[in-house]
């Protein structure tokens, strides 16, 4: 991760290679822009009068050796016409960082905290800018033997107005760093191919998280058999990779405070099993463990922050493969809870391994349960890459998670769970079946999960559309995004003591 700091340098006194200011469509100058303009005999106003740069979101211009400035470059980046949101500010910072990476700039200062961003506080703006820079510059290069030409960009400074702002800006920067490193862990795990990121590897990565208040247990196949997680074992039947069940326990809060449980789907490769998937894009099913990556990313972030909250994590991990020993369409399984499941499609495996994890999580008596899963293609159709599906049994918890998702920019959007949907998973020969037909696929998958939680508040996040992005976006060049981490840290912070 590139070095980021906060400073009170002004555009004029900035001693770095580049000072970056934002330019809106309306060409209303920000405080920093006004400063340069006045000190440079309206250099900026004359530039804008040429019409060479309109201020459209992300457009880019550089003025060199502006009179009165110490930095040799004044970079102007368009912030667009709308009132900026924190999410857009984050995207803007990501765009700028990536663009700067292509230049000879080693050290740059960003003058973005003087922009008006809704009612956002300084801390929120610093957080958004820093997170944007770190996420925008992320690249997954582990497997490239010929390093691409290295960028010289090594140092970003986020400017704030006054010395009195430094302390809160510094705290915001630290929090942003924790969240970004959690997201980067989640991205790295997601991007690792299935032959590297196996259930065993996920277990090792969980064990590598270390903190005095964190305990990690990784169960091997024998331990999973001993516990009777038969759903996880059934999905694992066709694979030659051993399954893992991972239990994390972070006790950062008061001992008497109940934990919040996070449950993750860790399908390290989902071929569909005997109900095999079509070949095109099947490679993307290495990302089917992004729910578990989100859980591990959250633990990384909260341990780095020393967040005063108690959190338990539960990850079910296996591959889903076809073979002579694989579970088959028509099979009836008995889950860990005892509920019997008719398997109509072996590709609806995520709900089966999550069922056991949810039951086990509830047995540990948490205050509430949140699960993360790349569960349904239907959710990609419903919400695309812009929001995760949000379902659950408790309106208050749904509202809290929804609110956290909107403030963090890691968006999730509510979907209904009317009881009539439950009829779609009724089985003729077992208690329930593992598919509910094409209609409302995301909802019926959540209905299936709901059979394995008790009355305590539970929400399910379907991150199938948000967990990875092959085309890329401002915040994510390509591949795993780290979805679920930021919203959860935000939620946990609000629940901290
Ligand atoms: N991992 C997939 C869901 C998925 C598909 C995520 C495409 C992202 C992109 C899941 O295991 C699955 O295959 N679900 C099936 C369920 C169906 C058989 C009821 C699906 O969505 O097609
Ligand atoms: Mn599947
Ligand atoms: Zn799957």
- pLDDT, tens only, 314-356: 999 999 999 999 999 999 999 999 999 999 999 999 999 999 9
Write down the pLDDT at residue 496. 87
Q: Are residues 270 and 320 in the same domain?
A: yes
Any domain includes 371? yes
The mean pLDDT of the chain is 97
Whether the CB of 348 sits within 6 Å of ligand 1: yes
Residue 386 pLDDT more than 80?
A: yes
Q: How many angstroms separate the CA atoms of 22 and 126, rounded?
A: 15
**Spatial contact of 351 and 270, defined as CB atoms under 8 Å apart:** no
Whether the CB of 377 sits within 6 Å of ligand 1: yes
CA distances from 456 to 254, 284, 396 (A): 20, 34, 12
Q: Are residues 84 and 150 in the same domain?
A: yes
Q: Are residues 249 and 365 in the same domain?
A: yes
- pLDDT, tens only, 442-470: 999 999 999 999 999 999 999 999 999 99
**What is the arrangement of strands in the sheet containing 3-7, beginning at the earlier edge strand?**
3-7, 155-159, 107-111, 18-24, 73-80, 60-64
Q: Are residues 218 and 70 in the same domain?
A: no
Between strands 368-373 and 18-24, the pairing is unpaired
Mean pLDDT (whole number) for 397-419: 98
Whether the CB of 99 sits within 6 Å of ligand 1: no
Whether the CB of 462 sits within 6 Å of ligand 1: no
- pLDDT, tens only, 206-258: 999 999 999 999 999 999 999 999 999 999 999 999 999 999 999 999 999 99
Between strands 310-320 and 244-251, the pairing is antiparallel
Q: What are 444's strand-pairing partners?
A: none
CATH number at 88 reads: 3.40.220.10
Q: How many angstroms separate the CA atoms of 86 and 23, rounded?
A: 16
Any domain includes 377? yes
Whether the CB of 376 sits within 6 Å of ligand 1: yes
Q: What are 480's strand-pairing partners?
A: 468
Computed on alpha carbons and rounded to an integer, the radius of gyration of the chain in Å comes to 24
Taking the whole predicted model, whether its pTM rises above 0.85 is answered as yes
Q: Which of 232, 274, 321, 347 to mutate to test the pocket of ligand 1 (most atoms within 8 A of CB)?
A: 347
Q: Are residues 138 and 286 in the same domain?
A: no
Atom nearest to 444 CA in ligand 1: 19
pLDDT grade for 149, boundaries at 50, 70 and 90: confident
Write down the pLDDT at residue 367. 98
- pLDDT, tens only, 263-304: 999 999 999 999 999 999 999 999 999 999 999 999 999 999
Task: Give 367's DSSP letter.
Answer: S
Q: Which backbone phi and psi does 316 adopt, to 5 degrees? A: -100, 125
Atom nearest to 288 CA in ligand 1: 1
Between strands 214-219 and 260-270, the pairing is unpaired
- pLDDT, tens only, 92-129: 999 999 999 999 999 999 999 999 999 999 999 999 99
Q: Which domain holds residue 234?
A: 180-494
Q: Are residues 154 and 255 in the same domain?
A: no
**Spatial contact of 9 and 161, defined as CB atoms under 8 Å apart:** no
Entry field: residues in the chain:
497
Tell me if residue 351 is catalytic: yes
pLDDT grade for 147, boundaries at 50, 70 and 90: confident
Q: Are residues 75 and 186 in the same domain?
A: no
Tell me if residue 433 is catalytic: no
CATH number at 198 reads: 3.40.630.10
Domains of the chain: total: 2
Write down the pLDDT at residue 248. 99
- pLDDT, tens only, 43-59: 999 999 999 999 999 99
Q: Are residues 116 and 211 in the same domain?
A: no
Q: Are residues 132 and 216 in the same domain?
A: no
Q: Are residues 188 and 91 in the same domain?
A: no
Q: Which of 355, 376, 449, 466 to mutate to test the pocket of ligand 1 (most atoms within 8 A of CB)?
A: 376
**What is the CA 23 to chain-centroid distance, rounded?**
29
Any domain includes 65? yes
- pLDDT, tens only, 184-200: 999 999 999 999 999 99
């Amino acid at each position: 991760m590139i070095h980021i700091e906060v400073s009170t340098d002004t555009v004029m006194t900035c001693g770095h290679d580049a000072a970056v200011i934002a330019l809106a469509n309306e060409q209303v100058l920000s405080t920093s822009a006004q400063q340069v303009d006045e000190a440079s005999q309206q250099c900026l106003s004359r530039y804008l009068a040429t019409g060479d740069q309109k201020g459209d979101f992300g457009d880019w211009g550089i003025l060199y050796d502006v009179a009165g400035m110490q930095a040799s470059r004044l970079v102007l980046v368009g912030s667009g016409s709308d009132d900026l949101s924190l999410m857009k500010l984050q995207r803007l910072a990501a765009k700028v960082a990536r663009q700067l990476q292509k230049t000879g700039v080693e050290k740059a200062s960003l003058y973005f905290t003087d922009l008006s961003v809704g009612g956002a506080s300084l801390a929120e703006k610093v957080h958004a800018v820093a997170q944007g820079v770190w996420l925008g510059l992320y690249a997954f290069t582990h497997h490239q033997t010929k390093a691409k030409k290295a960028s010289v960009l090594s140092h970003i400074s986020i400017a704030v107005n006054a010395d009195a702002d430094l302390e809160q800006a510094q705290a915001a920067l630290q929090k942003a760093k924790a969240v970004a490193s959690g997201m980067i862990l989640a991205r790295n795990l997601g991007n690792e191919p299935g032959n590297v990121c196996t259930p065993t590897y996920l277990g090792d990565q969980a064990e590598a998280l270390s903190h005095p208040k964190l305990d990690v247990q990784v169960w091997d196949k024998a331990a999973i058999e001993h516990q009777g997680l038969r759903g996880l074992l059934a999905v694992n039947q066709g694979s030659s990779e051993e399954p893992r069940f991972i239990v994390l326990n972070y006790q950062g809060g008061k001992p008497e405070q109940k934990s919040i449980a996070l449950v993750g789907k860790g399908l390290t490769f989902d071929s569909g099993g005997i109900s095999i998937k079509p070949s095109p894009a099947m490679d993307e099913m290495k990302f089917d463990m992004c729910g578990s990556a989100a859980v591990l990313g959250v633990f990384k972030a909260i341990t780095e922050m020393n967040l005063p909250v108690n959190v338990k994590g539960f990850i079910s991990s296996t591959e889903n493969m076809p073979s002579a020993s694989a579970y088959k369409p028509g099979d009836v399984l008995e889950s860990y809870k005892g509920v019997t499941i008719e398997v109509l499609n072996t590709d609806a495996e995520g709900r089966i391994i999550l069922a056991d994890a949810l039951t086990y999580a509830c047995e540990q008596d948490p205050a509430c349960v949140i699960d993360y899963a790349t569960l349904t293609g239907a959710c990609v159709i419903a919400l695309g890459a812009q929001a995760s599906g949000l379902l659950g049994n408790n309106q208050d918890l749904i509202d809290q998670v929804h609110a956290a998702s909107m403030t963090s920019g890691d968006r999730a959007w509510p979907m209904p769970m009317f009881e009539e949907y439950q009829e779609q998973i009724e089985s003729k020969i077992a208690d329930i079946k593992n598919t509910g037909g094409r209609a409302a696929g995301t909802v019926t998958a959540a209905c299936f999960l709901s059979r394995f939680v008790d009355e305590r508040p539970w929400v399910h996040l379907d991150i199938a559309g948000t967990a990875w992005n092959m085309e890329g976006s401002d915040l994510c060049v390509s591949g795993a995004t780290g979805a679920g981490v930021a919203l959860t840290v935000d939620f946990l912070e609000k629940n901290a003591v």
